[in-house]
Structure 1
Amino acid sequence: MKKKKPNKLKILNDPIYGFIQIQNPLIFDIIEHPYFQRLRRITQMGFSNLVYPGANHTRFHHALGCTYLMEKAIRVLRFKGIQISENEEKALYIAILLHDIGHGAFSHALEHSIVSGISHEEISLKFMHQLNKEFKGALDLAISIFEGKYHRKFLYQLISSQLDIDRLDYLKRDSFYTGVTEGNISSDRLIVMMNVKNDELVIEQKGIYSVEKFLIARRLMYWQVYLHKTGIVAENMLVNVLKRAKELAEKGVELFGSAALKYFLYNQINQDNFTDQTLQMFAKLDDYDILSAIKEWTNHSDNILSLLSKMIVDRKLLRIEVQKDRFENIQVDKKKRKYAKKMNLSIDEMDYFVFSQKIQNQAYQTQKPIYILNKKGKLKDIAKASDQLNLQALTKPVVKYIICYPK
């Protein structure tokens, strides 16, 4: 009896866009690959669900949403006479599908604790090269576009720019799952207004107000969601838990953890020794490993590790203050001394519980402009083309300072 071939042209149901079609068998095979399936176990927004209970969506959702929007963008650009070959189309789908594949558990927390000196973009590229070997070179063009090495610049800008497909999906998706309506941009309208001029991805003049709304929505989402003070405290505490665990592991202290987590705790991992074996271990590490370890660490004999872990599990987070001026070292030291006595810890150990840092939000960066294409075919930076005074203000970074300490 002949073995039935699987149907690789599936249709998925997305709560935001409705039905998403998988464009070709290669895309299906990449989605089915364990590297990509891992994204189901990586939350898109880390600990933001401690603030917005609905924010439990994953990198998997986001990657599929991006692929859907990319399909729309290609259709619009072709309709406007921009030549995009079938190979370029397939490469764009692959590049946008895999743009976040190197994200670690809880997104950015690993980059600042147990894996050092290598960014998630670099790990994404390592995954792509590994997949390219498995798929016998089928990802060559996708990798070239992803790295910005392909000769058609606008294809790279669809993947990575200030108005790329990635941002068009995550702002709308994060707004939907958090319920923060200020972030609900019109990604459809922005895509319909896309065009290409001098190999630059541009927005036609009719879309100027949609771009303004997009930039303002981005600013509001950063302050209300991504830089929400409770989310910042939780993420810093997670980084500190992992740092403490790493410190204990280096001293040979026995710690509970999955094989993948232990590999990163008990080995010094950086860019120079990030081998294929490291990549395979990284592919097994996700949010579940971190959460199960933290739950177990609440009972650890190390006071700092157990206390931080309990605070995260029970959502008894540190207190946080935000202000425009930098917190002086003397203020931070004063808090450390005060709580060191109460908690029976040394001043050095208080670094885990009392810390200050800078947070920054810049909604629009003029060095990578969004160009508006006017009726005469001329290009103008949105910051100059817009009559919205706020946009000039959005080009300046807004800096605030936080201090965290026990309640």
Structure 2
Amino acid sequence: MTNSNGKLSEEKVFKDPVHRYIHVQDEVIWDLVATSEFQRLRRIRQLGTTYFTFHGAEHSRFNHSLGVYEIVRRIIDDVFQEKPFLNQEERLLCLCAALLHDLGHGPFSHSFEKVFHYDHEEFTQAIIVGDTEVNQVLKKVGHDFPKKVAEVIAKTYKNKLVVSLISSQIDADRMDYLLRDAYYTGVSYGNFDMERILRVMRPQEDQVVFKSSGMHAVEDYIMSRYQMYWQVYFHPVTRSSEVILTKILHRAKQLYSKNYTFKTQPVHFDSIFKEKITLQDYLRLDENVISFYFQAWQQEDDEILSDLCTRFLNRNLFKYIEFNPSEQMMKLMELTTLFTEAGIDPKYYLVVDSSSDLPYDFYRPGEEEERLPIHLLMPNGEIRELSRQSEIVDAISGKRRTDHKLYFPQDIIESLPEEGSVKQKIKEILAI
């Protein structure tokens, strides 16, 4: 039952391990959670293949999306309550955009996007404005309301304060995934004092600023993010599983293009492999579907596809060494020749993987990815950019860290015949 103002007659709650409770008072939010497109997020992990490294990381995009919604709800209804910068429609706009911001993620998210060159934000917008249950729910608020929600996701909405709550260098999305991912992976790196950060938030015309008295809490958040990227998100074992995952998808796509006869036909991939994917086909994909194919493809006649699927499912991952592309390209070329000579396809079994992150950046207008800096509100009312006040943040500001590793199947190398010099040369170069 709902009231005439769009509120539920009784508040609904979700029990949550990070935020304790997630509160739902608005009918539109309750109805959005019940849509098939949002329920699909239960079947997509938040951290892709990280569960191979941290076995607790089985949480879903569904969990995270509810968490982002709850943080935004608290900011708007509690933090901004005495300074209402948003009208009722923009309040709902913030809540809906927060809930739906990850709606377009595909199975194994970023690995899937990298192989098929998709952008999950574009699919998120397509779901919101397309022929979907989500669209029908949003239209109950207003005919052009879905379009406005999509604009917030695209960062083109006219009120930049609304956009900054969902997408900035310190936003509800990042705050939730750091705390949630730290909780489920069992690490302490991602923990920071979110309560303190919320207390020092202040709305401005185009973005949120933070009272300078809370600067240390913001510093802690920045460092937590930095540590989570290098200790969890870019963990080399997780990257190894992602390398194998992407190579499975590449191999299946190549076989499809060569009219290979699959024992288990990849019907869910047809439109993707033909590069003519529809929104309906995309929404049929989740990690359960992908895992079914990987399970079945272990029995394929193609040895590479079969081997890669078996490796992925049984966690028989590639080993790795540190690799510097600018200094060791000759080594990579020599290894490529030796792998080919040994009958190991280097395209699938010799992979350079790079991880890169920019933990904090000041404003660089005109760049491809413009980052709104974090601003502090000084006691005299002056606004100052964070790195100008914090020596800690200044030390890492604008400094991109990049890491390269070379992945290879040590078990296959060890199984090579001892006769001849190929095996020995490979092992000498890899120092294994």
TM-score past 0.5 threshold: yes
> Is residue 40–residue 59 contact of structure 1 (8 Å, CA) maintained in 2?
yes
Provide Cα deviations, 1:51-71, integer angstroms capped at 9, x if missing partner.
000000000000000111011
Is the counterpart of residue 320 in structure 1 residue 333 in structure 2? no
TM superposition shift of 1:285: 0.2
Q: Residues 100, 318 of structure 1: CA spacing in aligned structure 2 closer, same or farther, 3 A cutoff?
A: same
Contact 2:161/2:206 (8 A) holds in 1: yes
- The reply to whether residue 183 of structure 1 matches residue 180 of structure 2 is no
Matches within 5 A, 1:205-216: 205-216=212-223
Q: Which sections of structure 2, spanning at least 5 residues, go unmatched?
A: 1-7, 364-371, 411-432
In structure 1, runs of 5+ residues without a counterpart are 1-5
Q: Which moved more, 1:39-48 or 1:391-400?
A: 391-400
Select the residue among 147, 150, 154 that pairs with 2:157: 150
1:207: Cα distance to partner?
1.2
Counterpart of 2:403? 400
Structure 1, 256-265 or 199-208: larger mean CA deviation: 256-265
Indicate which of 19, 34, 51 corresponds to 1:49: 51
Question: What's the secondary structure of 1:144's corresponding residue?
Answer: helix
Q: Kindly report which structure 2 residues correspond to 1:64-103, keeping only aligned pairs within 5 A, or say none.
A: 64-103=66-105
Q: Does the 8 A contact of 1:47 with 1:235 survive in 2?
A: yes
Q: How many residues align?
A: 387
Secondary structure of the 1:366 match is: coil
The structure whose Rg is larger is 2
Q: How many angstroms apart in 2 are the aligned matches of 1:362 and 1:33? A: 36
* Aligned twin of 1:372: 376
Contact in 2 for aligned 1:356/1:402 (Cα 8 Å): yes
Shift of 1:141: 3.2
Residue among 351, 356, 360 paired with 2:356: 360
State the Cα distance separating 1:83 from its structure 2 match. 2.4
Choose 35-44 or 248-257, whichever is displaced more. Answer: 248-257
Alignment check: 8 A CA contact 1:8 1:24 kept:
no
Secondary structure of 2:391's match?
coil
Take 2:266 and 2:408, find their aligned partners in 1: how far apart are those partners?
A: 31
Please list the CA deviations of residues 350-389 of structure 1 after superposition, one character each: whole Å capped at 9, or x if unmatched.
211102133212110212210011111111111111133x
Q: Distance in 2 between matches of 1:17 and 1:243?
A: 39
What's the C-alpha RMSD, in Å, of the aligned pairs? 2.0
Q: In the alignment, is residue 286 of structure 1 matched against residue 286 of structure 2?
A: yes
CA positional deviation for 1:262: 3.8
1:257 and 1:289 in contact (8 A); partners too: no
Q: Write out per-residue CA displacement over residues 296-333 of structure 1, whole angstroms, 9 at most, x where no aligned residue.
A: 11111001111111111111111112356645332122
| 2:272 aligned with 1:264 | yes
Provide closer, same or farther for how the CA distance between residues 393 and 286 of structure 1 changes in structure 2, counting only shifts above 3 A: same
Q: Show the counterpart of 1:386.
A: 390
* 2:161 and 2:205 in contact (8 A); partners too: no
CA distance in 2, matches of 1:252, 1:28: 46
TM-superposed CA distance for 1:74, in Å, is: 0.6
Contact 1:22 1:28 in 2 (8 A): yes
- Residue 162 (structure 1) aligns with: 169
Task: Pick 1 or 2: higher relative contact order, CA cutoff 8 A, min separation 6.
Answer: 1
CA distance in 2, matches of 1:401, 1:87: 47
What is the distance in 2 between the residues matched to 1:33 and 1:282?
A: 16
Shift of 1:7: 7.8
- CA offsets, 1:14-41, max 9 Å, x none? 1111121223111111111111100000
Q: Secondary structure at the match of 1:321?
A: strand
Offset of 1:393 from its aligned partner? 2.3
What is the aligned partner in structure 1 of residue 305 from structure 2?
305
Mean alpha-carbon deviation: is it higher for 392-401 or for 324-333? 324-333
* 2: CA distance, partners of 1:24 / 1:317: 46
1:110 and 1:340 map into 2 onto residues whose CA distance is: 27
Cα distance, 1:188 vs structure 2: 2.0
79-88 or 222-231: bigger deviation: 79-88
Give secondary structure in 2 for the equivalent of 1:112.
helix
Q: Does the Cα contact within 8 Å between 1:260 and 1:285 map onto a contact in 2?
A: yes
CA contact (8 A) 2:85 2:203 kept: no
The answer to whether the 8 A contact 2:44-2:60 is kept is yes
Tell me if structure 2 keeps the 8 A contact 1:335–1:405: no
> Structure 1 residue 392: deviation in Å?
2.3
Moved more, 286-295 or 81-90: 81-90
Residue aligned with 2:109, SS = coil
Q: Which amino acid aligns with 1:260?
A: H
Name the counterpart of 1:335: 335
Contact 2:182 2:190 (8 Å CA) reproduced = yes
Return the alpha-carbon distance in structure 1 between the equivalents of residues 32 and 266 of structure 2.
Answer: 26
Identity %: 28
Alpha-carbon separation, structure 2, partners of 1:43 and 1:361: 22
SS in 1 for 2:58: coil
